[in-house]
A and B are shown apart, each in its own frame.
Chain A
Amino acid sequence: MSNLCYLTIRELLNKLKASEITSEEVTKAYLDRISELDKKINSYVTVDVEGALEQAREADKKRSNGDEGALLGVPLALKDLIVTKGLRTTCSSKILENFVPPYDAFVTKKLKEAGAVIIGKTNMDEFAMGSSSETSYFGAVRNPWNTDKIPGGSSGGSAAAVSANLCAGALGSDTGGSIRQPAALCGVVGLKPTYGRVSRFGLVAFASSLDQIGPMTKDVEDAAILMNAIAGHDPMDSTCANEPMPDYTADINKGVKGLKIGIPEEYFTAGLDGEIEKSVRDNIKFLEDDGAKVVPVSLPHTKYGVPTYYVLAPAEASSNLARYDGVRYGFRNKDSEGLADMYKNTRKDGFGAEVKRRIMLGTYALSSGYYDAYYLKAQKVRTLIKNDFVTAFKKVDVIVTPTTPTAAFGIGEKTDDPLEMYLSDILTINANIAGIPGISVPCGFTADGLPIGLQALGAYFDEASLLRVAKVVEQKAGVLAENPSL
C-alpha cells in the first residue's frame, strides 16, 4: 500500500472523507515505508510507532462519529525542536538526547486539535544551526534525490521526509532559510511565514527575533492547509501577532494576473549557478505569461545580510543556550568536581562543534566593550535591510528570486569551512532579518537531476500572494509529479 504514501494532504483527506481508506491504513503504510527506507535517508530521530497507530485509530473512530477535523487522520512529522508532550524532543543534540517535554508546543496542540497523527520527529542540524543537516548528533540526513548529497538544513529531516514520501507533510523552522533552503534542495514546498504569524511557544529557541515555524509539503495547497491549522494568535508568545486570520486556501487558484512581481538583480549575481538562474528566469516568464507585471527592483543592502545575521543569530543563541547547564534537564557531565566545572564540562560534552562555535561568536559579540561594535551595528544594518524591502513593496506585490545559489552539494563538502556553509543561505537570510514571509516552490531540475527552488518573498502578512505565485509556478514548471527513486 506504499502508493498511499504518495498522496498529498488534500488527496488523502478526500479519500478519508469518502471512507475509501482509513487513517490506520495510511499511518501503517507510512510506518512500513519509514522502516524500509529511512535507513538510507536518516530523516527521523524518533518514530512514534505505537503512538501514531493509537492516534490513527482514534481519528478513525472520530470520523465514524461524524467528526470532520481539518487534518483528521493525516500523518505528519515535526522537526525535532517543536516540543511534543510525552514524545522525546532532542534538537538533534546530545544535550537533549533524553528530554521528554511535559507539554505541547502551540503548533503541536493545534495540529492535534485538527486531528493530525504525529508520526515522529525529524532530524536536523543541532539546535537548527546549519545549512546541511550534517551537524546532527544522530548523524547526517541524506538527500532522497541523491544520497551522496546533503538535503539542506537546518530542517533537512522534514524536507527529506516529505520528499521521500515518509510523511504526508511536516513542519520545519526557519531562522535564516532553514525551511526554504532544504525545501528547494529536496524538491518540496516550504513556507516561512511572517515573523509573528505562527506562535513560537514550544519551539526550542535558537535566535528569538528570527525564528519562525512553517509548513513543508508536497504541494502548494498542502502548505495553505497546514497554515490554516497552525497560524493565529497565541497569548503564550508575546511576539505572536494579533492579526486577522485569512483562509490561506481561498485564493491559491486565482493566478497572478494583475500582480506586480519585482526581480532584484542583487539576487542574480556572479555566484549564482547558471542552471539555477536559467530555470528561475524561465519560470518568471511563465508568471509574466500568466498576467503578472514583472519589473526590476533594487535591494541594495542584500550583500550585508549574511554578516548581519552572523552577529544577530549567534548573539541571541549564546543567550538562549545558556539554559543548558545540566541542572534541570538534559545531559550532565557526572565526573565534575564542583558546580562551575559541571557547567563547563556538561556544555563541552553536550554541544557539537558548530553549536560551540556560535555560542563563542555570540558571546564575543555581546562581551563588554564589543556590544556597540557588533550587536548594535548589526541591528542598525538590520534597519537598512528591512527598509530595502519596505521600499520595494511600495512598488511591487511579490519579489521573485532563486532560493539557493547552487543545487544540493556533497556530504562533507563544506563541513570544514563554516563561512562557505553560511553563504549557502545568502538568498534566504534577509527575509528573516526583515521578518517578511517567503516561500520556496520546486521549479525545475539540474542536468544531474537535482531539484531547483524558486523563492517568492512578500510584504508582511501577505502569505496569500506568495501561495498564488507558487501555485502558478507549480502548475507551469510541471515538476510536481516527479518523485525520487529510492
Chain B
Amino acid sequence: MKWQVPLRKRKQDAAGEAKRPVIGDRSQMSLSVDEVRRVATLAHLSLTDEDEKQFAVKLSGILDYIDQLSELDTSDVQPTSHSLEINNVFREDETKNTFGKETWQDNAPAKDHGHYTVPRVVEG
C-alpha cells in the first residue's frame, strides 16, 4: 500500500500560550490510558486493562492519520452537515401505524406489569 500514514511534523507549543485544541496539537504523542478511560466513561463502555492499552495505541494511530486534515486552510469554508440542501421538513403530528406497548416490549430484556425493569438506581 502506498497510501501511507503521513509522517507528521508536530508543532512546537508556543511557550505559555493557552490555546484551543487544533488537530495535531494533542499534548502527547499518543493518547494516554487516562484519556482512554475518560472517553470510555463518556461512552458508557467498561474496558479491560488490555482494552485500555490497545485503544491508547490504535486510536493514537488513527488520530495521527486524521491529523493530515490540518494541512488544509478551512478558515473561510462553511461546514457541510448534509450533502443535500434539505431544510426542515414538517408534517402533521398524527398517530398512525402504531402498535400496543406489548408489541414493543416483546424485545425487552426485562419487564414487569408493562414496565421496563432495570437494576437499582439509588442505593436504599
Contacts and interface: CB of A to CB of B under 8 A. Distances in A.
B20 A373 contact: yes
Contacts of A332: 109-110
B117 to A, nearest CB: 9
A418 B62 contact: yes
A367 interface: yes
A377 B23 contact: yes
B1 A383 contact: no
A122 to B, nearest CB: 21
Contact of A379 (B20, B81, B106, B109): B81
DSSP majority for the B interface?
loop
Interface string A206-241: 000100000000000000000000000001001101
Interface in A365-386: 367, 369-370, 372-374, 376-384, 386
B45 A239 contact: no
B79 A271 contact: no
A347 B67 CA distance: 29
Nearest to A379: B79
Interface residues on B, range: 35 or more
B119 A342 contact: yes
B106 A344 contact: no
Contact of B72 (A270, A336, A381): A381
A304 B69 CA distance: 7
Interface in A263-314: 269-271, 301, 303-304, 306-308, 310-311
Interface in B64-78: 65-70, 72, 74, 77-78
A356 B86 CA distance: 31
B11 interface: no
Interface in B41-66: 42-47, 51, 55, 58-59, 61-63, 65-66
Given A238-B86, A330-B107, A419-B62, A308 B69 contact: yes
Interface residues of A, number: 83
B80 to A, nearest CB: 4
B33 to A, nearest CB: 13
Contact of A196 (B36, B84, B118): B84
B14 interface: no
A75 interface: no
Contacts of B119: 336-339, 341-342
Interface stretch (A54-62, A320-328, A472-480): A320-328
B44 A239 contact: no
B21 A373 contact: yes
Given A102-B99, A342-B118, A304 B68 contact: yes
B108 interface: yes
A328 B62 contact: no
23 contacts: A196-B86, A238-B89, A239-B84, A241-B84, A311-B66, A322-B44, A329-B108, A331-B109, A332-B110, A337-B119, A344-B44, A356-B55, A360-B40, A360-B55, A370-B21, A373-B22, A374-B23, A376-B79, A382-B80, A418-B61, A419-B65, A423-B3, A426-B3
10 tightest CB-CB pairs across the interface, nearest first?
Answer: A435-B83, A379-B79, A329-B107, A271-B2, A332-B109, A380-B74, A344-B46, A270-B2, A238-B89, A363-B43
Interface of A: 98-100, 102-103, 194-196, 209, 235, 238-239, 241, 269-271, 301, 303-304, 306-308, 310-311, 318, 322, 325-332, 334, 336-345, 347-348, 351, 356-357, 359-361, 363-364, 367, 369-370, 372-374, 376-384, 386, 405, 418-420, 422-423, 426, 433-436, 460
